[in-house]
Amino acid sequence: MDYRQLGDSDLNVSAMGMGCVTFGREIDQQTSITVMDSAMDAGINLLDTSENYHDGRSEKTVGRWISERRVRDQVILATKVGLADGAGLTRERIASSAQKSLSRLKTDYVDLYQVHVWDDATPLDETQRGLDDLVQKGLARAVGCSNYTGAQLQMALRSADQSAYARIQSVQPNYNLVARESESDMLPLCQAENVGVITYSPLGAGFLTGKYRKNQPPPTGSRFDIKPGHQAIYFHDRMFEIAESVAAFSTECGISVPHLALGWVFQKSGITSTLVGARSISHIEQALHAAANPLSEDVLNRLNTLSA
């Protein structure tokens, strides 16, 4: 497993991270613990969760695992604060949410504390000050953001620099063969500003696996059935075209679609770490296999063309 510095922080994260969104929603606590054991055995040290994941159940599961395994000093623990019930990302809200997350995670600090989404209703300076408070109090080693646009990240960086607040050290964009918007502004900006990039959904939340069909409802029990909001992101004509083209290419080249999709993200420059979600140990093994068997330049070029 490769380890990379996250932005300008003192955090060194594994090139593959554990996305904990499935914990407490799609898999139970014991299965989640088994998955985390497997991830740690493979050298994965980045665990990413959020207060928004199933009313804190994901954080509680991660906290139990960290406590029982006594591995707090061996993991890079990341969580997020989001918008809920009309509550914005105010300084007071960030302070309160962070304390609740720390309690669920059974720790005195997190390594990376992120805002889950951009908040139009709260002044950016107030949000930035709330994040800075956490760093100054030792409750977070670094701060980051998720689902920002390039323009929003630019504003956050300038705000922190002008007010001497803790600087955003990482962004977390959705990035895969059918969601490449980050390439136009976010990735170049992060490279120029030395901001770490932690991508998520390399398989498009399962969209690229071929289980979803155009003009048909998602299979019962699938990710898009459990979380219908994913449909608005992925159920578009062009995305279905790309998924079908990748599936056809998989048959042609003899490489599985998950290997193609995962390998394409893993081999992209400018990515610090890629979060992989899992419902079982086999999903961890699938990602590790893709990482250990890089795609050829010809295959990567073909995927770039198919998904352009």
Region for 268 from its dihedrals, namely left if φ exceeds 0, alpha if ψ lies in -120 to 50, beta otherwise: beta
The answer to whether residue 67 is domain-embedded is yes
pLDDT score for 233: 80
CA 40 to chain centre: 17
In a domain, 199, yes or no: yes
Q: What share of the chain is helix, strand, coil (3-state, %, to 5)?
A: 50, 20, 35
Structure confidence by residue, pLDDT tens digits, 174-194:
999 999 999 999 999 999 999
In a domain, 145, yes or no: yes
Cα separation, 224 vs 301, whole angstroms = 29
User: 3, 53, 165, 212: which is the annotated catalytic residue?
Assistant: 53
Of the ranges 82-96, 170-184, 206-220, the best mean pLDDT one: 170-184
Residue 167 has pLDDT above 80, yes or no: yes
Q: Is 53 a catalytic site residue?
A: yes
More confident residue, 222 or 176: 176
Instruction: Please state, in angstroms and rounded to a whole number, the distance separating the CA atoms of residues 241 and 42.
Output: 35
Q: According to the model, what pLDDT value does residue 258 have?
A: 95
Q: Is 227 inside a domain boundary?
A: no
SS3 at position 51: coil
Q: Give residue 145's domain range.
A: 3-207+266-293
- CA end-to-end span of the chain, whole Å? 29
Residue 149 lies in a domain: yes
Among candidate residues 110, 94, 28, 93, the one with its CA nearest the CA of residue 61: 28
pLDDT value for 205: 84
What's the length of the chain?
308
Tokens of 37: 């054991």
CB-based contacts of 308: which residues, under 8 Å, 6+ apart?
Answer: none
Inside any domain, residue 287: yes
* Structure confidence at residue 231 (pLDDT): 77
- Between CA 262 and CA 274 the distance in angstroms is 9
Q: Quote the pLDDT of residue 166.
A: 97
pLDDT higher than threshold 80 for residue 77: yes
Could you tell me the CATH number of the domain that includes residue 12? 3.20.20.100
In this prediction, residue 95 has a pLDDT band, given cuts at 50, 70 and 90, of: very high
Give the number of domains in the chain. Answer: 1
Cα distance between residue 39 and residue 37, in whole Å: 5
State the pTM of this model: 0.93
Would you state the pLDDT for residue 108?
97
Residue 297 parent element (H or E): helix 297-306
Q: Decide if 78 is inside a domain.
A: yes
Q: In this structure, is residue 216 part of a structural domain?
A: no
Q: Tell whether the model's pLDDT for residue 236 goes beyond 90.
A: no
